[in-house]
Amino acid sequence: MFLSKQNMNNTKLKDLNINYFIATPIDKDLFTLQIATFFNNFKLGFSTTLEETVKKAQINQAETLPDFIDKDDLAVDYIYSPYLNLSGDLFKYWLDEEQNILYGYLFDCTGHDLIAWRQTAKIKTIFNYAFRFYDKKVFKSLTEVMNNINEEILFQMDTDSDTSAYVVAIIFKLDIQNKKLYYIPAGMPNILLKDKLAYREIALCSNLLGFSTDNYQEEVLDVSNVEEIVFCTDGLSDLLTLGNIQNKKDDITAIFIKLKNVFESNTK
């Protein structure tokens, strides 16, 4: 803009590296956020830079991650590796020790920037509220949980003009005592199961969240002969296919659920 007012040659734009300030193609929401941040910092005497804003968002996102679980019959850990500074993936799991049931969810939305961070925070709240209603017996099944999540994403993304904010996700309930895995996928490509010999893939087929008003249905797997269950986003799936960490092109996120003493208990 400055160069055009000075009637200077536009080829000099190359020297300014304009993509550092405004990436192309322009994301309207991110650009609006950058402008708002700029003027907010201007009023505060530039006490906070965009870099510092991203850093704070990184810390905030990392603080939402759950603790590892290590019990006599179960262990749960994870991989959380954003492609850039921020991740479009997020997850949560928690153990109902009284019922001996593990609950959780994993989702993936588009992007790796401040817009993705804002979306993951909003979507996480939608998931948490739906599971809270399930815990309070307002929702009677995982199907009701997932359908409510889908409705809320459809409504809230339209309200905030977050166009094409489709979400890939899976919710699950693991009955540890009876070795049953109940789950509902929404665009998630697969589940990985490990038995005595190797990992095997359970291919999944379902619509993304926020895509339509379709009803989601609960599925169940017998995991009595399974040592490990892996839920992962396509960042890990693609990396395993490529077989080279240097080919990382997306957020890599996975939940690893290890069922202990499976074959030992079967022998007994």
Q: What is the pLDDT of residues 181-232, one digit of tens each?
A: 999 999 998 999 999 888 899 999 899 998 888 789 999 999 999 999 999 9
Mean pLDDT, to the nearest integer, of 55-84?
Answer: 88
Predicted local confidence at residue 237, as pLDDT: 66
Beta bridge partners of 170: 106, 185
| Torsion from C-alpha of 145, 71, 78, 244, nearest 10 degrees | -130
Structure tokens at 69: 């679980």
- Determine the Cα–Cα distance for residues 128 and 149; give it in Å rounded to an integer: 9
DSSP 44: T
pTM: 0.75
pLDDT band (50, 70, 90) for residue 67: very high
- Determine the Cα–Cα distance for residues 171 and 186; give it in Å rounded to an integer: 9
Is the pLDDT at 254 greater than 50? The verdict is: yes
Mean pLDDT, to the nearest integer, of 65-85?
Answer: 90
Rg (CA), the chain: 22
CA-angle at 94, arms to 90 and 99, nearest 5°: 150
- Determine the Cα–Cα distance for residues 39 and 54; give it in Å rounded to an integer: 16
pLDDT band (50, 70, 90) for residue 92: very high
